Amino acid sequence: MKTSLKLALAPVVFAFVAASAHAGCGKGAVAGAVVGHMAGKHGAAGAAAGCAIGHHSAKKKQAAASAASNTPAPAPANGAAGTSK
């Protein structure tokens, strides 16, 4: 492997290791790297952008799930809570 290629890949590898704990980063980084590579050999930039977008998307999804679990249950239609006839 060429030395210049090793030097170019080193920051990307370290970024993946450091950011692997963040939700959504892995999937977004892989997709971004592929798109960046296809768009003109910008895989590292695509991976960074994909990681950021994937993490943002995961946080939005987590916030929506948290908000949905914190909403109170709707009242019964007849207005009587827990009573039986």
Task: Spell out the residues 6+ positions from residue 50 whose beta carbon is closer than 8 angstroms to its own.
Answer: 28, 29, 30, 31, 32, 33, 35, 36
pLDDT of residue 85: 55
Give the rounded percent of residues in the chain with a pLDDT score beyond 90: 1
Cα 47 to chain center, whole Å? 12
pLDDT of residue 80: 58
Does residue 74 register a pLDDT over 80? no
CA distance 82 to 30: 51
Q: Which amino acid makes up residue 50?
A: G
pLDDT of residue 37: 87
pLDDT tens by residue, 17-42:
554 556 778 888 888 888 898 888 88
